[in-house]
Amino acid sequence: MNDVPPDSQKLVDVESTPICLVHAEDGDWYAINDICSHEDFSLSMGEVWGLEIECPQHGSRFDLRTGKPNALPAVEPVAVYQVKVEDEHVYVDL
Ligand code: FES
């Protein structure tokens, strides 16, 4: 947990699925599939803006709660996953 401060993200591998784990500025945790739905780029290389993450390639922003893109060129959502925090450990439910 401590290696992902608020307002940052980290690429993690959960059962061979690349996950962008986000520790948002509101202190909550979010997990979104790391692969942009527009092309094959890593969302964890992008920037977090509030409760959105911006794809570094073409700038679509995805809502961390729903996975829906809020800006073109992406039109398809990205999968999001439930996150649970227990005893300083973060768990992602695929
Ligand atoms: S690859 Fe992500 S918006 Fe194009």
The stretch 2-19 carries a mean pLDDT of: 92
pTM over 0.85: yes
Q: Spelled out in words, what is the top-level CATH class assigned to the domain 8-83?
A: mainly beta
pLDDT digits (tens, 9 = 90+) for 18-64: 999 999 988 999 999 999 999 999 999 999 999 999 999 999 999 99
Place 7 in a pLDDT band, splitting at 50, 70 and 90.
confident
| Contact in structure between 45 and 53 (CB atoms under 8 Å) | no
Higher pLDDT, 81 or 71: 81
The response to whether residue 38 sits with its C-beta less than 6 Å from ligand 1 reads yes
| Contact in structure between 52 and 67 (CB atoms under 8 Å) | no
Report which protein residue has its CA nearest ligand 1's atom 1.
39
Rounded Cα–Cα distance for residues 2 and 78 (Å): 26
CA angle 77/56/51 to nearest 5° reads: 55
The confidence score (pLDDT) of residue 88 equals 86
The response to whether residue 55 sits with its C-beta less than 6 Å from ligand 1 reads yes
The response to whether residue 53 sits with its C-beta less than 6 Å from ligand 1 reads no
Other beta carbons within 10 Å of 51:
17
**Helix (H/G/I), strand (E/B), else coil: 45:** helix
69 CA closest ligand 1 atom index: 3
